[in-house]
């Protein structure tokens, strides 16, 4: 493997100090568009490093929670300004590290800035209600208490937005944080933490520990010094995190993906529906928990929709996310590339008919590039209609009625996001009411989350709670009901 002499090594950030892991070991973070390019080296930490981070967060906890909300907000505004100043640099590293195209990476980083500013403002908003007491001489009200030390475990698919939408509300509501990013996007995470450092966040308020998920992530879930844990990633790991937190009475929040449908009704605007299917399903190489993966189309418009979809998919340019003419980048890692390929093989084995793609992009073998892939003849029992693929794969499913479409759309363990394309108000209302998903979108793609609105899923997609917007306060604080009598 070619070692670039200028490869930078990124350190853990514990108690306000950048420091190497106690193991003395580092790991290279690779560019999925070019497996010979090392983006940076990150620390391979141990339980001792995690303990140090938890201790630092605990030491900072009381003074941070006593700081006035507006003062905490000022620090978040400063971190936002710093991230904005470094936007191009952070976005470029993100593209190199996990593959999404540069415009997507810039958009995500700008979103990180906006999320920071949104939660900075929360530092000046109300945190409770006055409730009439039966005792006329008493004052009864609610206030909010932070959880304490919050553990943040994040995936690689949104290396800035997801950490920020967890860290910013945790901090503004008075918690201190231990942050363990996905090892595959740990360089981007370190740049993000540098922005908080530059903003002047007090030592110990935010700590970064990079390392293996099985060691550091599960260590966090089980750590008695962590009072709340927020996780985004796979269902398999989410379940372990939730069980470990539950076993020791810690609060937890899990976001574990989706198998998101788009329903194309017989009266849909097909141009719009095709646009939304391609954008919702294939942008970011399908690596969004809100990505469209099941395309449920009424038989009356199926052939026309299919023709338009295939035409659009054939025009997609796959390549290095840094190239200006690239529409779709590589899978984020070798592991993800093989996972997606194996789902494609399973789809074929179980009787799905491949209409487009299905393999590695020829001529780009230095990276983990897959062709945008479309299947038809997919039925609900098939694996690729049930399991989250997290890659550029669309499964067409033909139905004869709107009722059948809704039934199929709900026939999975997930319930994160769902779209319908129709002009009929009755169908829209039926969809809004009957679709079991946390996000229901009418004439809009399944992906596309707004930072000021609650985000989360039903069924196995989430653990019942919601992130982002005003909803975040519910996880990062506990309500205290206060009764005062003079
Ligand atoms: N909901 C979503 O947005 C996402 C869903 N996924 C789904 O998950 C699949 C696999 O992706 P993958 O990256 O392996 O996802 P994981 O669930 O393994 O990783 C998510 C985060 O959890 C950490 N982690 C890993 N093992 C543990 C553990 N035992 N306890 C606590 N934390 C742990 C990871 O660290 P480390 O990176 O060091 O392993 C990472 O920070 C994808 O194909 C996709 O289907 C993936 C990413 C995001
Ligand atoms: O659709 C989005 O913008 C966010 C999706 C998301 O949260 C995820 O993929 O983890």
pLDDT digits (tens, 9 = 90+) for 290-329: 999 999 999 999 999 999 999 999 999 999 999 999 999 9
Q: Which long-range contacts (CB under 8 A, 24 or more apart) does 314-320 make?
A: 314/356, 316/278, 316/282, 316/372, 318/361, 318/364, 318/369, 318/370, 318/371, 318/372, 319/33, 319/364, 319/369, 320/33, 320/34, 320/367
Is residue 455 domain-resident?
no
Claim to verify: residue 160 and residue 264 sit in the same structural domain = no
Claim to verify: residue 232 and residue 358 sit in the same structural domain = no
* CA–centroid distance, residue 332 to ligand 2 (Å): 15
Is residue 264 domain-resident?
yes
Is residue 218 domain-resident?
yes
pTM of the model: 0.97
ipTM for the complex shown? 0.97
Instruction: List all residues whose CB is within 6 A of at least one atom of ligand 1.
Output: 153-157, 180, 182-184, 212-214, 217-218, 221, 232-234, 237, 240-241, 255-257, 289, 336, 339, 388, 390
pLDDT exceeds cutoff 50 at 103: yes
Position 486 scores a pLDDT of 87
Q: Give 264's strand partners.
A: 297, 421
Backbone angles phi, psi at 91, to 5 degrees: -65, -40
CA distance 403 to 401: 5
Q: Nearest residue CA, atom 11 of ligand 1?
A: 234
pLDDT exceeds cutoff 70 at 5: no
Question: What CATH number does the domain containing 437 carry?
Answer: 3.40.309.10
| Pairing, β 206-208 against β 260-264 | unpaired
pLDDT band at 1 (very low <50, low <70, confident <90, very high): very low
Position 6 scores a pLDDT of 84
Q: Nearest residue CA, atom 24 of ligand 1?
A: 213
Range of the domain at 219: 9-256+462-485
Nearest ligand to the CA atom of 255: 1
Claim to verify: residue 124 and residue 247 sit in the same structural domain = yes
Average pLDDT of the residues in 7-28:
98
Is residue 150 domain-resident?
yes
CA distance 435 to 414: 11
pLDDT band at 252 (very low <50, low <70, confident <90, very high): very high
Is residue 331 domain-resident?
yes
Position 351 scores a pLDDT of 97
Claim to verify: residue 21 and residue 55 sit in the same structural domain = yes
Claim to verify: residue 51 and residue 189 sit in the same structural domain = yes
Is residue 456 domain-resident?
no
Claim to verify: residue 276 and residue 347 sit in the same structural domain = yes
pLDDT tens digit sequence for 63-87: 999 999 999 999 999 999 999 999 9
Position 2 scores a pLDDT of 45
Mean pLDDT over each residue of the chain, to the nearest integer: 97
Average pLDDT of the residues in 26-31:
97
Average pLDDT of the residues in 190-208:
98
Q: Which range (1-5, 76-80, 157-161, 302-306) has the least confidence?
A: 1-5
| Pairing, β 34-43 against β 26-31 | antiparallel
Average pLDDT of the residues in 142-167:
98
Q: Is residue 255 annotated as part of the catalytic site, yes or no? A: yes
Q: Confirm if 160 and 192 have CB atoms less than 8 A apart.
A: yes
Radius of gyration of the chain (CA): 23
Residues of the chain with pLDDT > 70, as a percent, come to 99
Is residue 206 domain-resident?
yes
Q: How many domains does one find in the chain?
A: 2
Claim to verify: residue 352 and residue 217 sit in the same structural domain = no
SS3 304: helix
Question: What CATH number does the domain containing 59 carry?
Answer: 3.40.605.10
Nearest ligand to the CA atom of 215: 1
CA distance 348 to 271: 28
Claim to verify: residue 107 and residue 217 sit in the same structural domain = yes
pLDDT exceeds cutoff 90 at 203: yes
Residue of 347, 419, 400, 402 whose CA lies nearest to 376: 347
Claim to verify: residue 272 and residue 252 sit in the same structural domain = no
Claim to verify: residue 416 and residue 372 sit in the same structural domain = yes
CA distance 223 to 85: 36
Residue of 47, 3, 5, 39 whose CA lies nearest to 23: 47
CA distance 451 to 120: 13
- Can you point out the beta strands (E) in 10-126? 12-14, 17-19, 26-31, 34-43
pLDDT tens digit sequence for 402-415: 999 999 999 999 99
pLDDT exceeds cutoff 90 at 438: yes
Residues of the chain with pLDDT > 90, as a percent, come to 98
Claim to verify: residue 173 and residue 32 sit in the same structural domain = yes
Position 120 scores a pLDDT of 98
Claim to verify: residue 170 and residue 295 sit in the same structural domain = no
Average pLDDT of the residues in 363-369:
97
Q: Nearest residue CA, atom 21 of ligand 1?
A: 155
Pocket test for ligand 1, best of 166, 184, 233 (most atoms within 8 A of CB): 233
SS3 421: strand
pLDDT exceeds cutoff 50 at 3: no
Q: Confirm if 197 and 147 have CB atoms less than 8 A apart.
A: no
Position 4 scores a pLDDT of 57
Is residue 46 domain-resident?
yes
* CA–centroid distance, residue 63 to ligand 2 (Å): 33
């Amino acid at each position: 493997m070619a070692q670039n002499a200028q490869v930078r090594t990124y350190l853990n950030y514990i108690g306000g100090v950048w420091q190497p892991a106690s193991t003395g070991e580092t790991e290279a973070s690779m560019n999925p568009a070019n497996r010979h390019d090392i983006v940076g080296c990150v620390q391979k930490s141990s339980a001792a490093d995690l303990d140090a981070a938890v201790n630092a967060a605990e030491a900072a906890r009381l003074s941070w929670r006593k700081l006035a909300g507006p003062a905490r907000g000022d620090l978040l505004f400063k971190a936002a300004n710093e991230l904005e100043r470094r936007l191009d640099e952070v976005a470029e590293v993100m593209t190199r590290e996990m593959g999404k195209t540069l415009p997507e990476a810039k958009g995500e980083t700008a979103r990180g800035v906006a999320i920071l500013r949104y939660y900075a403002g929360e530092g000046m908003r109300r945190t409770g209600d006055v409730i009439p007491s039966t005792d006329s001489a008493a004052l009864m009200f609610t206030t909010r208490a932070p959880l304490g030390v919050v553990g943040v475990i994040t995936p690689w698919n949104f290396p800035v937005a997801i950490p920020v939408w967890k860290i910013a509300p945790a901090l503004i509501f008075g918690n201190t944080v231990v942050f363990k990013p996905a090892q595959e996007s740990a360089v981007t995470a370190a740049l993000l933490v540098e922005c908080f450092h530059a903003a002047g966040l007090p030592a110990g308020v935010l700590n970064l520990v990079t390392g293996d998920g099985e060691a550091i992530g599960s260590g966090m879930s089980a750590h008695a010094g962590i009072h709340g844990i927020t996780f985004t990633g796979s269902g398999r790991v989410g379940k372990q995190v939730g069980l470990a937190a539950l076993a020791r009475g810690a609060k937890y929040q899990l976001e574990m993906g989706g198998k998101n449908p788009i329903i194309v009704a017989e009266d849909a605007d097909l141009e719009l529906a095709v646009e939304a299917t391609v954008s919702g399903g294939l942008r970011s190489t399908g690596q969004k928990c809100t990505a469209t993966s099941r395309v449920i189309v009424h038989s009356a418009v199926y052939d026309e929709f299919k023709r338009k979809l295939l035409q659009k998919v054939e025009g997609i340019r796959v390549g290095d996310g840094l190239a200006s003419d690239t529409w779709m980048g590589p899978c984020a890692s070798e592991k993800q590339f093989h996972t997606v390929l194996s789902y494609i093989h399973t789809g074929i084995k179980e009787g799905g008919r491949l209409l487009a793609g299905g393999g590695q992009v020829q001529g780009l073998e230095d990276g983990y590039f897959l062709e945008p892939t479309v299947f038809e003849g997919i039925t609900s029992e098939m694996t690729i209609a049930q399991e989250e693929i997290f890659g550029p794969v669309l499964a067409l499913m033909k139905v004869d009625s709107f009722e059948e479409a809704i039934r199929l759309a709900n026939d999975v363990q997930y319930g994160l996001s769902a779209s319908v394309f129709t002009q009929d108000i009755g169908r829209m209302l039926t969809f809004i009411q009957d679709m079991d998903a946390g996000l229901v979108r009418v004439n809009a793609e399944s992906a596309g989350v707004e930072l000021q609105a609650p985000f989360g899923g039903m069924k196995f997609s989430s653990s019942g709670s919601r992130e982002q917007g005003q909803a975040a306060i519910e996880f990062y604080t506990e309500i205290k009901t206060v009764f005062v009598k003079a």
